[in-house]
Amino acid sequence: MLSTRNITVHLVFTENEQFFLSATADNGRLLAPADWVKQLFVKHEESFFGSQLSSLSYSGKEGVLLSVWQWVTLFKEAQFSRFIRWQWNELGDFSLAIAPVLYEAVTDGRFLPEFQEDGLTFPVPPAVWEEFPSDFWSDSVTELMTNREFTAVLFSLCAQQAFQQAKQLKAEVAPLIGGKLTSSELNRYFDPARWRQWIGAETSEAPFSVGLRLTEPEEEGDWKLETVLINRKNNEKIYPLQGRILKSWLPYIEEAKEEQARWLRLFPWLEEGGELRSALSEELAFTFLTEASEKLIQLGVPILLPSWWETIRKSSLSLTAKVSSTRTRGTSFVGLQALVDFDWRLSMNGAELSEEEFAKLADSNRRLVKINGEWIHLDPEMVRKIQGLMKEAKQKGLRLQDLLEQELTPEEEAEEDWTDPRLFAHIQIELNRSLKQMIQQLQDASSVPILSPPADLKADLRPYQQAGMSWLLFLRSCGFGAVLADDMGLGKTIQLISYLLHVKKQEGPGTPALIICPTSVLGNWQKELERFSPSLTVLPHYGSSRKQGEAFEQAIQGVDVVLTTYGLSHIDFDTMSSIEWSTIALDEAQNIKNPQTKQSRAIRKLQGRHHIALTGTPMENRLAELWAIFDFANHGYLYNLPQFQKQYIVPIEKDNDTSKVEQLQAKIRPFLLRRTKRDPEVELNLPDKLEQKEYCPLTAEQASLYQQLVDETMDNIGKLSAFERRGLILQMLNRLKQLCNHPALYLKEQEPENITSRSEKMNKLVELTDSILEGQEAGLIFTQYIGMGEMIQQELESRFGLTVPFLNGSTPKHQRDQLVQDFQQGKFPLFLLSLKAGGTGLNLTAANHVIHFDRWWNPAVENQATDRAYRIGQNRFVHVHKFITTGTLEEKIDSMLEKKQALNDEIISSEQWITEMNDRELKELLQLH
Partner 1 sequence: MTVHDHSPKSRVQPASAKTSSSAELTNIPGVMRASDLFKIKLAANDGPERWIEKINGTVAERLDAHIHFTNPYKMEQESKQIYEDLLKLRPIEREWQPLYQLYVSYGLLNYLTDIAKEQTISQELLERAYASFLFYLVEEAGEAAEEIGIHALPFQFDPYIHFLREDAVSLLSSDKLLFFNQRIDLYRQLWTSLFKREAWRKEERRRLQSLLIEKKNATALSAGYLHQLYLANDLEGFRTAAKRMPAIGIELYVAWMSDSIRLKQPDKARLLVKTIDQHLESYLHQLANEGTMQVRRFVHYFLTHIDTEWLADQEPSLYQSLLEKMLPYSYTDLSLYLLQSHRYEEWAELALWMDSDLAELEREGLKEAAKAAPAEVLPIYHHGIVRLINERNRPGYKKAVRYLKKLRTLYKKLKQLDRWELYLHQLLEEHKRLRAFQEECRKGQLIHA
**Bridge pairing between strands 61-66 and 19-24:** antiparallel
CB of 680 to partner 1, least distance (A): 33
Phi, psi torsion values for 242, nearest 5 degrees: -80, -10
Could you give phi then psi for residue 227, rounded to 5 degrees? -85, 135
* Stretch touching partner 1 by CB under 8 A, among 36-44, 192-200, 431-439, 760-768: 36-44
Shortest Å distance, C-beta 42 to partner 1:
5
Applying CB under 8 A, the span of 82-90, 196-204, 247-255, 630-638 interacting with partner 1 comes to: 82-90
Comparing CB distances to partner 1, the nearer of 52 and 437 is: 52
Q: Are 673 and 484 in contact (CB under 8 A)?
A: yes
Residue closer to partner 1 by CB (options 4, 443) is 4
CA angle 606/612/613 to nearest 5° reads 95
Q: How far is the CB of 172 from partner 1 (least distance, A)?
A: 16
Among 15, 82, 203, 688, binds partner 1 (CB under 8 A): 82
Stretch that binds partner 1, among 46-54, 439-447, 640-648, 897-905 (CB under 8 A): 46-54
Residue placing its CB nearer to partner 1 in the complex, 48 or 269: 48
Least distance from C-beta 82 to partner 1, angstroms?
Answer: 6
Q: Is the CA virtual torsion 348, 350, 351, 354 positive or negative? A: positive
Shortest Å, Cβ 744 to partner 1: 47
| Least spacing, CB of residue 73 vs partner 1, in Å | 14
Taking CB under 8 A as the binding criterion, the range among 49-57, 311-319, 450-458, 791-799 that sits at the site for partner 1 is 49-57
Stretch that binds partner 1, among 35-43, 249-257, 639-647, 920-928 (CB under 8 A): 35-43
Does the protein bind partner 1 through residue 5 (CB under 8 A)?
A: yes
Backbone angles phi, psi at 882, to 5 degrees: -110, 120
Q: Note whether 656 binds partner 1 by CB under 8 A.
A: no
Please report how close the Cβ of residue 79 comes to partner 1 at its closest, in angstroms. Answer: 10
H or E segment and range at residue 685:
helix 680-685
> Residue 41, interface with partner 1 (CB under 8 A)?
yes
2 interacts with partner 1 by CB under 8 A: yes
Q: Contact between 234 and partner 1 (CB under 8 A)?
A: no
Nearer to partner 1, 81 or 328 (CB): 81
Binding residue (CB under 8 A) for partner 1 from 81, 328, 337, 927? 81
Compute CA distances 175 → 158, 209, 291, 611, 801, whole Å. 19, 21, 16, 55, 56
Query: Residues 6, 52, 447, 594: which binds partner 1 (CB under 8 A)?
Result: 52
Q: Which is nearer to partner 1, 51 or 731 (CB)?
A: 51
CB of 85 to partner 1, least distance (A): 11
User: Least distance (Å) from partner 1 to the CB of residue 81?
Assistant: 5
Do 702 and 748 form a contact (C-beta atoms < 8 A)?
A: no
Least separation in angstroms between residue 2's CB and partner 1 is 6
**Binding window for partner 1 (CB under 8 A); candidates: 79-87, 95-103, 190-198, 462-470:** 79-87
Stretch that binds partner 1, among 77-85, 150-158, 448-456, 855-863 (CB under 8 A): 77-85
What number of other Cβ atoms are within 10 A of residue 176's Cβ?
22
Q: Considering beta carbons, is residue 200 or 534 the nearer one to partner 1? A: 200
With contacts defined by CB under 8 A, name the span among 78-86, 653-661, 716-724, 779-787 that binds partner 1.
78-86
Q: Binding residue for partner 1 (CB under 8 A) from 15, 83, 236, 680?
A: 83
The Cα 425–Cα 417 span in angstroms is 10
Selected from 6, 14, 32, 51, the binder of partner 1 by CB under 8 A is 51
639 in the Ramachandran plot: left (φ > 0), alpha (ψ -120 to 50) or beta?
left
Q: Residue 35 or residue 108: which is nearer to partner 1 going by CB?
A: 35
Q: Which stretch in 32-40, 270-278, 399-407, 645-653 sits in contact with partner 1 by CB under 8 A?
A: 32-40
Smallest distance from the beta carbon of 99 to partner 1, in angstroms?
A: 20
Nearest to 887 by CA among 928, 923, 924: 928
Q: Which stretch binds partner 1 (CB under 8 A): 45-53, 70-78, 288-296, 906-914?
A: 45-53
**Near partner 1 by CB under 8 A: residue from 84, 98, 603, 626:** 84
Under the binding rule (CB under 8 A), the answer on residue 658 touching partner 1 is no
> Residue 7: which of 93, 82, 61, 85 has the closest Cα?
85
Query: Per-residue string for binding with partner 1, 132-171, x by CB under 8 A?
Result: ------------------------------------x---
**Residue 81 or 864 with smaller CB distance to partner 1:** 81
To the nearest whole angstrom, how small is the minimum distance from the Cβ of residue 49 to partner 1?
A: 4
C-alpha to C-alpha distance for 283 and 749, rounded to whole angstroms:
92
User: SS3 helix, strand, coil % of the chain, rounded to 5?
Assistant: 45, 15, 35
Element (H, E) at 61: strand 61-66
Instruction: Identify which of residues 45 and 205 has a Cβ nearer to partner 1 in the complex.
Output: 45
Check binding of 42 to partner 1 (CB under 8 A): yes
Q: Kindly tell me the burial class for residue 889, based on how many C-beta atoms sit within 10 Å of its own C-beta (0-12, 13-18, 19 or more).
A: buried
Provide, rounded to whole angstroms, the least separation between the CB of residue 538 and partner 1: 58
Which string of DSSP letters, residue by residue, matches 301-312?
--EE--THHHHH
Q: How many residues bind partner 1 (CB under 8 A)?
A: 21
| Residue 468 and residue 524 in contact, taking contact as beta carbons nearer than 8 Å | no
Continuous segment of H or E residues that includes residue 723: helix 722-741
Beta strand 19-24 pairing with 55-58 = unpaired
SS3 state of residue 117: coil
280 Cβ neighbours under 8 A, 6+ residues apart: 214, 222, 223, 224, 225, 288
Nearer to partner 1 by Cβ, of 81 and 204: the residue is 81
Binding of partner 1 by 49 (CB under 8 A): yes
Rounded to whole angstroms, the Cα distance separating 726 from 917 reads: 10
CA dist., res. 290 & res. 271, Å (int):
18
Question: Beta partners for 798?
Answer: none
Distance (Å, rounded) from C-alpha 228 to C-alpha 247? Answer: 16
- Which run of H or E residues covers position 215? strand 208-215
- Using CB under 8 A as the binding rule, whether residue 85 contacts partner 1 is answered as no
Torsion angle of C-alpha atoms 252, 256, 258, 261, degrees rounded to 10: -160
**Measured from the CB atom, is 2 or 555 closer to partner 1?**
2
CB-nearer residue toward partner 1: 42 or 264: 42
Q: Residue type for 429, please?
A: I
Among 19, 24, 50, 631, binds partner 1 (CB under 8 A): 50
User: What region, left, alpha or beta, does residue 46 occupy, with left being phi > 0 and alpha being psi -120 to 50 degrees?
Assistant: alpha
Distance in Å, CB of 15 to partner 1, minimum:
25
Q: Exactly one of 14, 17, 48, 841 binds partner 1 (CB under 8 A); which one?
A: 48
Compute the least distance from the CB of residue 165 to partner 1, in Å: 10
Among candidates 344, 480, 492, which has minimal Cα distance to 400? Answer: 480
- Residue 725: partners with Cβ closer than 8 Å, 6 or more residues away: 717, 915
Distance between CA 333 and CA 330 in Å, rounded? Answer: 8
Does 38 contact partner 1 by CB under 8 A?
A: yes
Task: Note whether 63 binds partner 1 by CB under 8 A.
Answer: no
Residues making contact with partner 1 (CB under 8 A)? 1-2, 5, 35, 38-39, 41-43, 45, 48-52, 54, 81-84, 168
